[in-house]
Amino acid sequence: MLSHVPSLRYGCLWITLLFISGASCYPPGPIQARLATRGSRVGALQFRQGIVKEKYDNQEKRRISNIMGEIEAILDDKHGLRSSNDSNDVEFDGVLEGDLVINERQAKWMLQAFNTRQKRKLIDNEELRWNISTPIPYLFNPEDFNENEKGIIRWAINHWEQETCIRFKDMGPVVYYTDYILFYKGKGCSSEVGRNGQTQISLNVICISKQIVAHEIGHSLGFWHEQARQDRDDYLDVLWENIQPGKTYNFLTHQTITNDVPYDMSSLMHYLGTDFSKTYPDMLTLKSRDGFLQQVMGGAEKLSFYDAKTANIEYCKDSCRNTKLRRPCEHDSYQDPNDCYSCKCPEGFGGTYCNTAAFSVGGADFAADDRHHMQWR
Ligand SMILES: *[C@@H]1O[C@H](CO)[C@@H](O)[C@H](O)[C@H]1NC(C)=O
Ligand SMILES: *[C@@H]1O[C@H](CO)[C@@H](O)[C@H](O)[C@H]1NC(C)=O
């Protein structure tokens, strides 16, 4: 049973990594923007040190900010929010949707997709994806995390490994690869979306929780936020008038590949219903059509069944190519890439093919026979 996790899950997002100097922050106020620079030195061996690289120069940041301004202007206009005069004063603080560090290409195709409303496939998708024929290398920025913090980060990595075929490898102090994940202690909780050379995940001390780290790793693997799916309007209403002025660009939908996986309020990649609201936390910005699910939204503590399924479809298609199951997987389950002889079941189902109800803890197995179950009641 999911319960509402009010603050910290996305509380971290308020103090996001700011890399546009002087930008004002949402909501506590201005925080000076700064990416840690620790001096880079590439030795004769040409390996890549685990140091945080400044990724985008000021001009690129400004261009990204301008694109967000364009999106904001169109959205505000569409929803009758602000006079057209001021709607370009967008307060883009360097992160989209609270925790996404995007590059100019990604910003451009967001705008393009928005303007044209074409249902084309994501052209960048291939290049954003990791090649997982070998484990994804990662490292901790030297001296940023203590052992306890590393333990929590490793828990999140391990969680992804248990749910998918994706594997990670701690490179120690040095990586020999072009593409790798760097965990560092930045100003807030953020990640780039998908593979991008030194793919940076910033984890401030307030972000060191299992679900936040697992969430950010999801972004680094290419996940956008669940509520940015194009079909989200079938399940929730965006309450535009409740969004902080200058922040509506965070509520754009993106062209994402969903592989027929259904919309999932319990996704670890879903916002809280109150994010970016004018008066957090009592004003909703996302209102679930199904009232019960309002409590579920944004409260996930681990990957949902469909989060894992999405990743497994994208990354793990070939994991079981040599093992054929005798029966089809039932109840939306699928061949488990970590155990090719059985299906990976949604909660509440069990058995090799997910055709039976799961064991309950401390209860009786009523799976095979409903009558039996009724007798015990
Ligand atoms: C927009 O700006 C123009 C000139 O700066 C001004 O005359 C006009 O009244 C403004 N409109 C609104 C709706 O604020
Ligand atoms: C992934 O890496 C493997 C091993 O390095 C390589 O053989 C394969 O071609 C790569 N796949 C893609 C799609 O680049």
Query: What 3-state DSSP class applies to 305?
Result: helix
Point out the least confidently predicted range of 111-125, 164-178, 228-242: 111-125
- For residue 353, the CA-to-ligand 2 centroid distance in Å is 32
**pLDDT at position 89:** 65
Question: Hey, what are 54's tokens?
Answer: 């400044």
Bridge partners, 286 (sequence order): 238
pLDDT at 142 over 70: yes
Return the pLDDT at 250: 92
Average pLDDT of the residues of the chain: 80
β-bridge mates for residue 136, sequence order: 168
Q: What is the mean pLDDT of residues 97-117?
A: 84
User: What distances in angstroms separate CA 152 from CA 147, 194, 209, 220, one per listed residue?
Assistant: 9, 22, 7, 17
Tens-place pLDDT, residues 183-208: 999 988 999 999 999 999 999 999 99
User: What CATH superfamily is the domain 1-317?
Assistant: Collagenase (Catalytic Domain) (3.40.390.10)
Using CA atoms, how far apart are residues 131 and 143, in angstroms rounded to an integer? 28
Q: What is the mean pLDDT of the segment spanning 308-334?
A: 95
State mean pLDDT over 250-255: 87
Known active-site residue 143: no
258 and 229 Cβ atoms separated by less than 8 Å = yes
Report which protein residue has its CA nearest ligand 2's atom 10.
131
**pLDDT top residue among 60 and 126:** 60
What distance in angstroms lies between residue 126's CA and the mean position of ligand 2's atoms?
12
Catalytic one of 91, 163, 216, 226: 216
304 token code pair: 């949902």
Concatenated DSSP letters of 213-248: HHHHHHHHTT---GGGSTTGGGTEEE-GGGBPTT-G
E strand spans, the chain: 48-49, 100-101, 136-140, 168-170, 174-175, 180-184, 189-192, 198-203, 236-238, 286-288, 334-336, 339-344, 349-350, 356-357
pLDDT tens sequence across 157-171:
999 999 999 999 999
- C-beta of residue 301 within 8 angstroms of C-beta of residue 5: yes
**pTM across the whole model:** 0.80
Domain ranges of the chain: 1-317, 321-376
Task: Confirm or reject: Cβ of 126 under 6 Å from ligand 2.
Answer: no
